[in-house]
Structure 1
Amino acid sequence: MIADLKFCKIGFFDDYVICNVNEGVTLCTKKNKEITVFLLNHFQNKPFVYITERIHSYSVDPSIYSHSSKVETLKGFAVVAFNYFAASSADYEKNFLEKPFEIFNETIAAEHWAKNLLKTV
């Protein structure tokens, strides 16, 4: 299943999602809450991992991670960075999330990490 929000697309899998935020978006608290509500409605009380593919250039307000840290069923966060700038930004952002946060350069590696992480919770 793929959900098309106005500012991103979210692909749903059994226990993780892959999100692609649109070019030029600023991912702020309001948009983060919209994603979170959508994910919680889908997964209900089931643990899940959030994977974002940084295909496009967009901004992230690091304050969104304090809210995301409180989502009990969110067990981890992965960024698939396809360039140095995306990886560098993600490395800075990981300081704000109080959950496992990893950076990858391939989606398949992030998916494997998500599945292994969920085996331990």
Structure 2
Amino acid sequence: MTEYYDLGFAKVEIEEDFLKNTITEGFLVKPEHNKLLLEFVKKHFNKKPFVYISNRVNSYSVDPTVYYETTKIDNLIGIAVVSRNHRQQKLTELENKFFQKRIKYFTDIKKALEWKNKLLEKNTGF
């Protein structure tokens, strides 16, 4: 069962094994926003492995230190970045330098979900 949250600066969709987040145009994501992410993780995933899907349909900025904090989420096994803007692919490569887990760029959500399923299959003994 899908759960939806509108945080004003983001729309969050939570499924059984992934969290999809769509950030509002022009927003700056800071480390304190990770506290909200941690609340969702504790409530919906507990210690179960999951994938974060960053649905980048809008243009926004991320403080690079956010990735350091996000890496600390033990049951987060990867981030899928979904965007039709190919500049996001280069940005994802840069973000990979700050993020210590799997992060991959996709142009459509279907491919991101296929990747999520493969990651989860590999992490069944999490």
TM-score (ref. length: structure 2) = 0.90
- Structure 2, gaps ≥5 residues long: none
1:107 correspondence with 2:103: no
1:98 is matched with: 100
Match of 2:62 among 60, 63, 66: 60
Identity %: 34
1:77 is matched with: 79
1:33 is matched with: 35
Number of matched pairs:
121
Q: One-letter code of the match for 2:82?
A: V
Q: One-letter code of the match for 2:5?
A: A
Aligned residues: CA RMSD: 1.1
Q: Does 94-103 or 27-36 show the bigger shift?
A: 27-36
1:50 is matched with: 52
Instruction: Tell me by how many angstroms 1:120 deviates.
Output: 0.6
Contact map agreement 2:92 2:103 (CA 8 A) in 1: no
1:3 is matched with: 5
Q: One-letter code of the match for 1:29?
A: P
Secondary structure in 2 aligned to 1:49?
A: strand
- Structure 1, gaps ≥5 residues long: none
